[in-house]
Amino acid sequence: MVMTSRATEIRAKLGHPVIDADGHLVEVVPVYLDFVREVGGAGAVKQIEALRQQRPWTEMSLEQRRFAAVPATTWWAIPTANTLDRATASLPRMLANRMEELGLDF
């Protein structure tokens, strides 16, 4: 079942395909860490886990960010209020099935 969304309505009025060329995918962390462990070993996983435990960028002062060379984190990359969108960003087949609803052709 394809739901009609504002994106679907806009796409229907266009005379050309809509292409999302960014190619973003949100990794499922446990699966990602399994891959890192396989390729980089337990030490690589420990380093990533340490970074994930770091104080959030948004809670640091400008001086602390500069001293630790902490890059700005994305606040929009991981949707959490809408679990369907979060799953769509993580599962390629689900994304493919929702393309029309999202207003995308390719």
Q: Which residues of 26-58 are buried (b: 16+ CB within 10 A; e: fewer)?
A: beeeeeebeebeeeeeeeebeebeeeeeeeeee
User: 70-98: per-residue pLDDT in tens?
Assistant: 777 766 666 678 888 888 888 889 989 99
Same domain? For 60 and 83 the reply is no
- Give the per-residue pLDDT at 106: 86
Q: Is the pLDDT of residue 103 over 60?
A: yes
Structural domain total, the chain: 2
User: 35-62: per-residue pLDDT in tens?
Assistant: 999 999 999 999 988 877 777 778 889 9
Same domain? For 31 and 70 the reply is yes
pTM of the full structure? 0.55
Check if the beta carbon of residue 3 is closer than 8 Å to that of residue 96.
no
Residue with tokens 């995918």: 25
- Give the per-residue pLDDT at 7: 86
Same domain? For 14 and 31 the reply is no
**When comparing pLDDT for 2 and 44, which is higher?**
44
Domain span at residue 70 reads 27-76
Question: Residue 20 — φ and ψ, nearest 5°?
Answer: -95, 105
Same domain? For 48 and 11 the reply is no
